[in-house]
Every structure is written in C-alpha cells, then in structure tokens.
Structure 1
Amino acid sequence: MTEKEKMLRGEPYFSFGEELAGERQHAKEVVFEFNRLEPSKVVERHALLRGLFGSAGGKFYIEPPFRCDYGYNIHWGEGSYANYNLVILDCNRVTIGDQVLIGPNVSIYTAGHPIDPVTRAQDVEFALPVTIGNRVWIGGGAILNPGVSIGDNTVIGAGSVVTKSIPANVVAVGNPCRVLREIRPDEIGGDHGSD
C-alpha cells in the first residue's frame, strides 16, 4: 500500500515521500497563482480552484488568500463562501456542503500527529475527514480538527475550537466547542417577515 493510500484511509503514513511531496508542490503552485491574481479576475481564480479541487458547485466564492495541502480532497458545495485566510489541510476528504458561510481566518485540519514523541519524530502523521453540512455558518477564527462533522444549519461561534462533532440545528461555541442551544424552528427557513 502506498503512503497516499494510507493517508486517504486514515492510517499512519509518511508524508515526505516523492508522490505526496510532488502533489503538495503542485497545489502550492496553483494556490500561489490563485492568490496573486488581480481582484477583478474572479472567473480565472475560480477556474484554478475547479481544476485543483475534487469537486466544486457551479457557483462558489473563496476570498484570497487561501491555502491548502493537496486540493483534490476538497469537495466544495454550491453557493458556499469563504472569507479571507482560509486554511484547509486536506490530507483527507474535506466536504463543505451547500450555502456554507466561512468567516475569515478559519482553519480546517484533517492532519494530525501521534501523541508518542518517538513516533512523531519519525515524520509519521495521520489524517481524518472533516464534513460540514449544508447552510452552516462558521465564525471567524474557528478551528475544525481532524475527524469532526458539523450538521446542517448549525452555527459555530467565532474563535471556537471544534474537537468533537457538532449536531445539526444548533449554535455551538467555545474551546472546546460545545452546544450552546438549539436553533428554534422559527429561525430556520425562508419566512423572515410574516405578519
């Protein structure tokens, strides 16, 4: 089994082999080009990401600067938006649902390192997928750790550190991120101005 296959299966792997290093270098080149394009070159910027990502909705928007490890593990939903300085360490699958709002300075990490210092010193790491449901709002400065999922319609407060999965239809905040309250039925849906 290759190191890439181990990485994608969530098993310990060595990340500095030729194949993975080359793929990271390719992503760096594409992301560099994305970040350096003029602000008016929206179509060109997003064409670069479409070629890099595993999949992307017909309409999406990511503000530069943006960083990722590989790109091909990112699956970006329809109508989803990310503000400045999004970092995605996509050593495993990152699924971002439809109509997701991601605030500035958010970090999504699939990559982790062993607790054992001897193993860690051998450049061994692991990666677990991260899943964000539809219509999620992630506040600025939030950090999502390996293996977490966030359910549909949920709001993650600014500065939160998500270490465990968060269910759908809740407001969750803090470090570690915890459910603060459920979202009321009248807070979900399109009827915002009934008489």
Structure 2
Amino acid sequence: MNTPHIDIEANRAARKYSRKELLGRVLWSLASLLFRFSPRLAWGWRNMLLRLFKARIGRNVRIFPTVRIIIPWTLTIDDGATVGDHAILYALGPMKIGASATVSQGAHLCGGSHDFRDPAFPLWRAPLTVESEAWIAADAFVGPGVTIGRGAVLGARAVAMKNIPANAVAAGNPAHIVGTRSPSAPASNVKG
C-alpha cells in the first residue's frame, strides 16, 4: 500500500494569514495581557479592549478575565451574554454569541480546524453560532460550523459537532438530544 508523501514542513511554512492579520494577532497577544490581568469586575474595561480590536460587543456583556480569545475581530457577542472563567473562544472564523446566552467555565468554542481529508491539512475557518438564551455548560466543546439553537442547552462536557436545534437539551460525546426546554422556562426546569 502506498502512503502519500506529506510535506509537513511545507504545510508549516504556508501562509495562513495575511500580514494585516498577523500584525493584529501580535498586537492582540500583547493587549490580551491587559485583558487577562484586569480585576474580575472590570467588565467594561475588557469589553472596551475587545472593541478596540474590532470585536462587536453588546451592552452588559460579562467576559471573565481568564477567557482566552483568538482573533477578536471575528467575534460578535450580543447584549447580556456571559462568557465564564477559562472558556476558549477560538474564533478563526466568524463567531457569534447571542443575547443573554451563557458560555460556562472551561467551555471551548472552536471556529477552525484542518481538513483531514487533504494530506497537507490546510486550515479551515468556519462560522460558529450560539444563539440567544442558549447555555453552553461547563467544559463543553462546540465544533467548527456548528449552530447551537436559541434557548438550547449543551450539557457539561458534551461535544457538539452537529447543530443543536432551538430549545433542545443535548448531552454526551457526541452530543445527542436528551430533552427539551420550554422557551420561557428557566434552566432549572430542564427535563432529561
């Protein structure tokens, strides 16, 4: 059986970002120190820093200082959303977190990957959406190209590699629907 030759060095040397993007990433890595070491309650300060880097941040957004954000200019977070401690927003492609949505501690929203079908593993940037009033629970993973529907819940440590419909409650790896949530019910009334 012939295994195709994979030129790893060529892949590593390939330009994946424009000069402007590279400069922005370097500047953000420096500014992110001001983000990370800000006081916990300095919500406005962190939102302002993100806006300086072209992130679209709504009113009353709460992003904790330990959140890791890659490429802020691809990020949109609507009014009243919260992103908890140690969450990762790997926003290689457009990433949107809707109004009043919650991304809990340790969650990982991944807006990019590599095309495993191609031996050169080219970079793939994909949109990722968490719609309004959805909840991504602790340590959950949302993959590239996925939409978590309005009011949906992705349970703790679940892995969503496919869309989760509105008001669905999903759990497991891979995530599957385990219940539904009433559009007007608080999260404590979830069945499943």
Query: What is the deviation of 1:18?
Result: 3.0
Equivalent residue, structure 2, for 1:162 = 160
Identity %: 22
Equivalent residue, structure 1, for 2:113 = 112
**AA at the equivalent of 1:108:** L
**AA at the equivalent of 1:58:** R
Equivalent residue runs for 1:20-169 within 5 Å? 20-116=21-117, 118-120=119-121, 124-169=122-167
Query: What is the deviation of 1:82?
Result: 1.2
**AA at the equivalent of 2:23:** G
Unaligned runs of 5+ in 2: 1-13
SS in 2 for 1:187: coil
Unaligned runs of 5+ in 1: 1-12
Cα distance change on mapping 1:47 and 1:186 into 2, 3 Å: closer
Provide the TM-score with structure 1 as the length reference.
Answer: 0.81
Separation in 1, partners of 2:41, 2:157: 30
Per-residue CA deviation, residues 34-81 of structure 1 (Å, 9 max, x unaligned), is 001233544322211222243111111011112122101100010001
SS in 2 for 1:118: coil
Separation in 1, partners of 2:116, 2:137: 29
Q: Which protein, 1 or 2, shows the higher relative CO under an 8 Å CA cutoff with sep ≥ 6?
A: 1
Per-residue CA deviation, residues 149-190 of structure 1 (Å, 9 max, x unaligned), is 01111111000111000000111111111111122466369x
Query: What is the deviation of 1:133?
Result: 0.7
**AA at the equivalent of 1:114:** D
Separation in 2, partners of 1:186, 1:41: 31
SS in 1 for 2:48: helix
CA contact (8 A) 1:30 1:52 kept: no
Cα distance change on mapping 1:60 and 1:19 into 2, 3 Å: same
CA contact (8 A) 2:151 2:183 kept: no
Alpha-carbon RMSD across the aligned residues, in angstroms, is 2.2
Equivalent residue, structure 1, for 2:8 = none
